[in-house]
Structures are given as C-alpha cells and as structure tokens.
Chain A
Amino acid sequence: MDFLNALVALANFVLIPATAYGAQLALGALGVTLIYGILRFSNFAHGDTMAFGTMVVILVTWWLQSLGISLGPLPTALLALPVGIAVTGLLLIGTDKVVYRFYRQQKAKPIIYVIASLGVMFVMNGIVRFIIGVDDQRFADGERFIISARDFREMTGLDEGLAFRTSQGLTIVVAIIAVALLFWFLNRTRTGKSMRAFSDNEDLALLSGINPERVVLITWLIVAALATTAGVLYGLDKSFKPFTYFQLLLPIFASAIVGGLGNPLGAILGGFVIAYSEVAVTYAFRKVVGYLLPESLEPEGLLQLLSTDYKFAVSFGILLIVLLFRPTGIMKGKSV
C-alpha cells in the first residue's frame, strides 16, 4: 500500500508535470531545430515568437469569451489557436522578408543571423509587452481537472491523491498530434522531403531544382504553428507572462542541442530529458521516500537536490555533460 502511495505521489508531483512540461519543451525545441536545419542559425527570437503567438491567442480567446462562445469542458483557447498560428505565420514571413532575406542574399555567416535574430527578439519582446503588458495573464477556462485529487482518493482509497489537469492531458494529446503531423509531412510529402533535402545538402538541392525561397517560407509557417502551439499549451498549463517566455529560451535551446541540433527526433527526446531532469532535481522527494522507508528511517531533510530557483542551472548542467561526451547531441545532429 505504501509502495502504491509512493508511486502515486511520484506520478502526481514528478511524472505528470514533467511529461506535460517535456511536451511543451519538445514543441518549442522542434521549432528551433527546424530553423537551425533549414536556415542554419540559432533563432534567439523563438521564445518571443511563442509569446507573440500566445498573446494573439489570448486576445482572440477574450473576444470569443465576450461573445459567449466556448468549447464546453475544453479551453476556448483551442478555438483561437488557428488564428494565433496564422497571425504569427504572417509576422514570421514579414520578418523574413524584412530582415533575414537580406542576409540570405548576402550569404551571411550564421553568427550574423544569430545577432539579427537577437534584434528581432527585442522588437517582438517590445511588441508583446506594448500590446498585452508585462503582467501574468490567465486564460484557461473550461473543466479544470480530468481527475482531481479528491476523486482519485475516493476512487482508489489511497492516502495520496493524484490530480490530472485538463491542461496537462491536452498538452500531451496536442503534442502527439502535432508531432505526428510534422513527421508525416517531413517524411511522406514531396514538399516535406524537399525540406529535408535542403537541410541535408543545400547545393545539391539547388541542382535538383528545389526552390530555396519556397522551402524557407514553408519552414517559417511550420515554425509559427509549433511555436504558437507550444506557447499556448505552456500558458494554459501555467500562466502567460512575457518574461517567462523569454526565459523559456534556455531550456528550449538546451533541449534542441542535447537532442542534436537539426534532428527533429532529437528535439523531442531532448525536451523530455531536460524536463524530467529539471523537475526531478528540484522536487523534494521526502514524501515519496517517506512512504517507502520504515518510520524509524524517515529522512529529516526535504531530499531536494536543488531549490526550484536553480532550475535553469539544470538545463545548463545537462547541456554541458551531454556536449562533453557527445558534441553532436544524443541523436546525431550537427555540431554547433
């Protein structure tokens, strides 16, 4: 019984939150990795792209709510998501036309793109804060729980409760659908294959008649979809705050690099590695261990390796360790 309680506590505080967080990081890292694979630079504006997309979704959600439109038990934000993706897509394509295309024609070095993306980051940052402000915004509505802790205790008779929030379930389902769609697109369609070919060998892609501008355009559209979806899921699960999204850049980059930059499967794997590590290292295991050990051996401390304030250090740590032993990431990616 105590063993079951320990397991439930572990699932409740570590496994479920980390899985949802991992799915959000994975979607973010997929966007970063796609840009790196196709456009060949690390896009520092990715966190703020997520913030921009989420902001649009929040505004549309509020408008829908004011009209009295809702999705019942599901958050209204799902209805607003396509609009957010479309507007973010337009923004990214506009940015490409105004900023990145110029450097492409110059055949600029990757570092120049990176610095340009830093500039884009500041601009997007400003736009988002200007429109929606710097404060926390909550926009989740509908049913809060799929299983609440109390229901779970009543159902199972265990001491320990297990809560499974709608936002967590939604994150996992939406992430699976998004990843399945992306892989189907990249591996099965003519356009998707041409993107992989372009990422693999740009010169040969040109010799095969693949149009680079079209590949770039489609990449930005997919990135808009991934970034907005990741941002909205994160915002539903936690809350929306521009600064938090900017900070998400670190774990997202860590995920993409740990998994192997330019490798989509690696981005997903990296997302979960970072998320599980971050949650596990900053969780106080006292409760879980307490169930497993006899009372006399009960630990005194919290059994927490690092305080949650240091969660970003975990991303950095993992990044360092992986790069020391596998410079191209866990799955074979391009070395940075």
Chain B
Amino acid sequence: MSGGSGYEDRGNNDRSVTGTPVDHMGDPVPAGGHAERVEGADAFLIGEAMTGGYGGGADILHDCTIAVNPGEIAVIVGPNGAGKSTAMKAVFGMLNLRKGRVVLDGEDITHLTPQARVQKGMGFVPQTSNIFTSMTVQENLEMGAFTRRDDFRETMEQVYDLFPILREKRDQAAGELSGGQRQQVAVGRALMTKPKVLMLDEPTAGVSPIVMDELFDRIIEVSRTGIPILMVEQNARQALEIADRGYVLVQGANAHTGTGKDLLADPDVRQSFLGG
C-alpha cells in the first residue's frame, strides 16, 4: 500500500483530540499521500484529483480521488473533519472544485448542478437533515420519486420489502420516527429514483448495533442488484469488512486506499483508525 508513510508517528489523527491549531487546516498532506488509482480511471463514478473548499474559503480537499464500480461498495473512513462529507458533496456538485473532475459512466459531469446529477441517476443521502420531517413516510418516498413520470408504485413496494418497518409506519410523520427508522426513510427516499449510483453519508449514524448490522445487510442487498454504492462510515471496522474498495481520508487527502480487507489488515490503518 502506498501512502501513510508520513503518519506513523501520529497516534491519533483526529485533530479535535490533538488540538492542532485551526489555521493548519489547509495544509497539504505530506508527499506520498496520494491514492493509488486502482482501476480508478475507468470506474463508473469517479471524483478524480478533486481540490476545493466551501465558497471562497480555504481548500478542504487536496487532490482527493474516490471511485466506485457497479456491484461494488466503496467506503470512505477517516477522522472527524477529515473532509469525508465534503468529498461526497464535491462528487455531487454541491461545492466548486478548483481542480479535478467528476466522471459518471464516462461522461464528465464536473459542471452539472446537483439537480442535473439527480436527473442523471445519482442518489444522495446527506449526513444531516436527510428526511422531510413534517411529511409522512410515504410522502418522503414519493418526493424521492419526484423526477420520475412513470408509475413508481413497484419501486415503493421494493423499498417497503427492503425496510418492512416503513410499510408499517407509512402514514406516520417521518419526524416522529426513531433515529434508525429515519435513516431507513432517508435511504429509501434515495432509492426511489432508481438511482444508477447511490451515495450515503453515514447511513448508520446514531443507530444501535443490531439495526446497524441490519442496515449494512440491506445496503449489501441493494449493492447486489448492481447499484454502485459510495458511502462514508464512522463504524470503520464493520464498513471495511463489507467494502470492495476502501478510502482513508486524512485532512482532505487520500491517506490509504485499497480493498476493505487490505485496509483492515494494514497495521498502519489499524493503529491510526481502528484502535489497534
């Protein structure tokens, strides 16, 4: 594995713990922190060498590359504030890239708006406020299918089959559901577009271990239908276990890249992110 050579001496990469001053935020990673382009260049969805930040602020992503192929689950892990959500938003066109490009199915979509990317078949579940709290579960799903003009009842049945609890609560306001149930609504909403690629930002945030396992099972099920899945996970160990591709981000740059198994086996990664 490449990368990581500059990190051995750091016991904890979470800057909020080590208390690194904030003005170091934009520091580029040491040389050697680049992603290995494992069959990346011709992947189905790829955010390539992305560099950029929010508005006119400092760059948060530095030459960051993430990619995913059909039937695969790609997982991004890393300390808080590493730029995982930012990388997802960059792939979805929610911030301006200063360098790099985003390619979907061979087409350069770097300059498309998020709405246009929805039309192109990308589905995104953001990390926060990812449901319509005042609307019922069913209405949330209907809004997910907003861009579709065909009959989407079949897709809705599939979502209900995937998450049976949602069928039971279909007429309840989504804001009245438990955290785990809300995450299911959020994923279900994104599935309603019949996306060609699904992006999930911490789908298991605030979910109990049992529900988390179940959610992972569901995500694997979705992935088996051929939909490429790109997700950010805080539960790095479980997530890397199911990952075909793993990315460790540190300070907005690729620190380690490899298959989930490789990363789990990598002593570097184990020590810095998985707690030994």
B-binding residues in A (CB < 8 A): 190, 193-194, 196-197, 199-201, 203-211
**Are the C-beta atoms of A208 and B144 separated by less than 8 Å?**
yes
| Residues in B neighbouring A196, C-beta threshold 8 A | 132, 134-135, 139
Q: Which residues of A contact B143 (CB under 8 A)?
A: 193-194, 197, 205, 208, 210
What's the Cα separation between A194 and B131 when bound, in Å? 13
Q: A193-B139, A194-B146, A204-B129 are in contact. Are A209 and B134 (CB under 8 A)?
A: no
Could you list 11 examples of A-B contacts with CB < 8 Å?
Answer: A190-B146, A196-B139, A200-B135, A201-B129, A203-B129, A204-B129, A206-B115, A207-B92, A208-B146, A209-B118, A210-B146
B111-127, CB under 8 A of A: which get 1 and which 0? 00011001100001010
Q: A207-B118, A208-B118, A208-B189 are in contact. Are A200 and B147 (CB under 8 A)?
A: no
* B183 beta carbon closer than 8 Å to chain A: no
Minimum CB distance partner of A262 in chain B:
B134
* Residues of chain B lying within 8 A (CB to CB) of residue A201: 129, 131-133
Residues of B within 8 A of A (CB): 92, 114-115, 118-119, 124, 126, 129-135, 139, 142-144, 146-147, 189, 193
**How long is the Cα–Cα vector from A200 to B134 in the complex, in angstroms?**
7
Is the contact region of chain B dominated by helix, strand, or loop, or is it mixed?
loop
Report the separation of the CA atoms of residues A317 and B86 in the bound assembly, to the nearest whole angstrom: 48
Least CB distance, B84 to chain A, in whole angstroms: 18
Main secondary structure of the interface of A (DSSP, over half): helix
B129, A209: Cβ atoms closer than 8 Å: no
Q: Are A207 and B146 in contact (CB under 8 A)?
A: no
Residues of chain B within 8 A of A204, CB atoms compared: 126, 129-132
- 12 new A-B pairs (CB below 8 Å) besides A204-B130, A205-B132? A194-B143, A197-B146, A200-B133, A200-B134, A203-B126, A203-B129, A204-B132, A208-B118, A208-B143, A208-B146, A209-B115, A209-B193
Q: Which residue of A lies closest to B189 (CB)?
A: A208
Chain B contacts for A194, CB-based, 8 A: 143, 146
The 7 A-B pairs of least Cβ separation, nearest first, read: A209-B147, A209-B118, A200-B132, A197-B143, A200-B134, A208-B146, A208-B143
Which residue in chain A gives the minimum CB-CB distance to B132? Answer: A200
- For the complex formed, measure the closest distance between the CB of A196 and the CB atoms of chain B, giving whole angstroms: 6
Contacts of B142 in A (CB 8 A): 190, 193
B135 near A197 with CB under 8 A, answer yes
Distance in angstroms between the alpha carbons of A199 and B135 in the assembled complex: 11
Nearest CB of chain A from residue B123's CB, rounded to whole Å: 8
Q: Which residue of B lies closest to A263 (CB)?
A: B134
Closest to A209 in B: B147
CA distance A193 to B189 in the complex (A): 14
Residues of A within 8 A of B92 (CB): 207
**Bound Cα distance A208, B124 (Å):** 9
Report yes or no: A207 in contact with B126, Cβ–Cβ below 8 A.
yes
| Cα–Cα distance between A214 and B224 once the two chains are bound (Å) | 37
- Chain A residues near B146 (CB-CB < 8 A): 190, 194, 197, 208-210
Bound CA span A199–B143, Å: 13
B contact residues around A206 at 8 Å (CB): 114-115
Q: Bound complex: CA of A201 vs CA of B132, how far in Å?
A: 6
Assembly CA distance A190 to B130 (angstroms) = 20
Complex Cα–Cα for A207 and B186 (A): 12
- Do A208 and B147 form a contact, CB below 8 Å, given A196-B134, A200-B134, A201-B133? yes
Q: Could you tell me the distance in whole angstroms from the C-beta of B194 to the nearest C-beta in chain A? A: 13
Chain A residues whose C-beta falls within 8 Å of the C-beta of B114 in the assembled complex: 206-207
Pairwise interchain contact B115-A211, C-beta atoms closer than 8 A = yes
Chain B residues within 8 Å of A203, by CB: 126, 129
Q: How far is the CA of A211 from the CA of B116 in the complex (A)?
A: 11
In the complex, residue of chain B having the shortest beta-carbon distance to the beta carbon of A37: B134
Contacts of A199 in B (CB 8 A): 134
Cα distance, A197 to B143, chains bound together (Å):
7
Task: Return chain B residues, CB-CB under 8 Å to A193.
Answer: 135, 139, 142-143
Distance between Cα atoms of A193 and B135 in the complex (Å): 9
Query: Which among A205, A209, A210 has the highest number of chain B CB atoms within 10 Å?
Result: A209
Q: Which residues of A contact B132 (CB under 8 A)?
A: 196-197, 200-201, 204-205
Q: How far is the CA of A205 from the CA of B140 in the complex (A)?
A: 10
Query: In whole angstroms, how far apart are the Cα atoms of A199 and B134 in the complex?
Result: 9
A209–B118 Cα distance when bound, in Å, is: 6
**What is the CA–CA distance of A204 and B182 in the complex, to the nearest angstrom?**
14
A190 contacts which chain B residues (CB < 8 A)? 142, 146
Bound CA span A211–B119, Å:
12
